[in-house]
Chain A
Amino acid sequence: MEQAAKAQGSSCKESLSEQLMKPMRKMLIIEKQGKIITLVCAWVLIVTLFSLLYFITSKGISPFVNNQITLAEFFSFEWGPTASAEQGGPFYGAMAFILGSLAVTLGATVVSAPLGIGAAIFMTEIAPDWGKKILQPVIEMLVGIPSVVYGFIGLTVIVPVIRETAGGLGFGLLAGIIVLSIMILPTIISVGVDAIQAIPRQIREGSYALGATRWQTVSRLVVRAAIPGLMTGVVLGMARAFGEALAVQMVIGNSPNLPASFIEPISTLTSVITLNMGNTVQGTTYNNVLWSMALILLLITMLFIFLIRFITRRREY
Chain B
Amino acid sequence: MNAKTIDRIATFCFYSIAVLIVGILLGLVSFILIRGLGVIDWSFVTEAPGSVLTGGGGVGPQLFNSFYLLILTMLITIPLGLGGGIYMAEYAKPGKLTDFIRLSIEVLSSLPSIVVGLFGLLVFVQYTGWGYSMLAGALALTVFNLPLMVRIVEQSLTAVPREQREASFALGVTHWQTILKILIPAALPGIITGTILASGRVFGEAAALLFTAGMTSPPLDFTNWDFTSPTSPLNPFRPASTLAVHIWKVNAEGIIPDAKEVASGASALLVIAILIFNLVARWLGRFIHARLTSS
Contact = CB atoms under 8 A, between A and B. Distances in A.
Interface in A245-293: 245-246, 249-250, 270, 273-275, 277-278, 282, 291
A99 interface: no
Contacts of A309: 106
A34 B112 contact: no
B21 A135 contact: yes
Contacts of A250: 248, 251-252
A204 interface: no
B83 A41 contact: yes
A189 B115 CA distance: 26
Interface stretch (A6-14, A78-86, A149-157): A149-157
A159 B294 CA distance: 54
Given A155-B251, A236-B110, A239-B110, A297 B215 contact: no
Contact of A182 (B3, B4, B24): B24
B130 interface: no
Contacts of B177: 30
Task: Please tell me the size bucket of the interface on B.
Answer: 35 or more
Contacts of A298: 111-112, 115
A57 to B, nearest CB: 11
A242 B32 contact: no
A158 to B, nearest CB: 11
Given A274-B207, A305-B110, A56 B119 contact: yes
Given A37-B83, A301-B112, A46 B123 contact: no
A4 interface: no
B188 interface: no
Of the candidates A31, A35, A144, A147, the one having the most CB atoms from chain B within 10 angstroms of its own CB is A144
A69 to B, nearest CB: 19
Given A149-B32, A153-B31, A274-B210, A126 B14 contact: yes
A243 B6 contact: no
Contacts of B25: 138, 141-142
B88 to A, nearest CB: 7
A27 B206 CA distance: 46
Interface residues of A, number: 85
Given A39-B87, A42-B84, A157-B31, A149 B115 contact: no
Given A145-B274, A215-B10, A245 B146 contact: no
Given A30-B176, A118-B17, A45 B84 contact: yes
Nearest to A149: B267
A131 interface: yes
Contacts of A118: 13-14, 17
A302 B104 CA distance: 11
A221 interface: no
Interface string B148-162: 001000000000000
A128 interface: no
Nearest to B18: A122
B73 to A, nearest CB: 14
B147 interface: yes
A134 interface: yes
A149 B108 contact: no
A13 B249 CA distance: 76
Given A214-B11, A239-B110, A301-B111, A144 B118 contact: no
Interface in B175-199: 175-177, 179-180
Given A157-B31, A215-B6, A144 B200 contact: yes
A236 to B, nearest CB: 7
A137 to B, nearest CB: 8
Interface string B43-82: 0000000000000000000000000000000000001111
Contacts of B107: 49, 302, 305
- Find the residue from A121, A215, A294 having the highest chain B CB count within 10 A: A215
Interface of B: 3-4, 6-7, 9-11, 13-15, 17-18, 20-22, 24-25, 28-29, 31-32, 35, 79-84, 86-88, 90-92, 100-101, 104-108, 110-116, 118-119, 121-123, 126, 143, 146-147, 150, 174-177, 179-180, 200-201, 203-207, 210-211, 215, 244-245, 247-248, 251-252, 260, 263-264, 267, 270-271, 274-275, 277-278
Interface of A: 27, 30-31, 33-35, 37-42, 44-46, 48-49, 51-52, 55-56, 59, 115, 118-119, 121-123, 126-127, 131, 134-135, 138, 140-142, 144-149, 151-153, 155-157, 182, 185, 189, 212-216, 218-219, 236, 239-240, 242-246, 249-250, 270, 273-275, 277-278, 282, 291, 294, 297-298, 301-302, 304-305, 309
Given A126-B18, A152-B267, 6 more contacts: A35-B87, A138-B22, A152-B251, A243-B113, A297-B114, A301-B110
In the A-B complex, the 8 residue pairs with the closest CB atoms: A243-B112, A146-B204, A41-B83, A38-B87, A34-B176, A213-B7, A215-B10, A118-B17
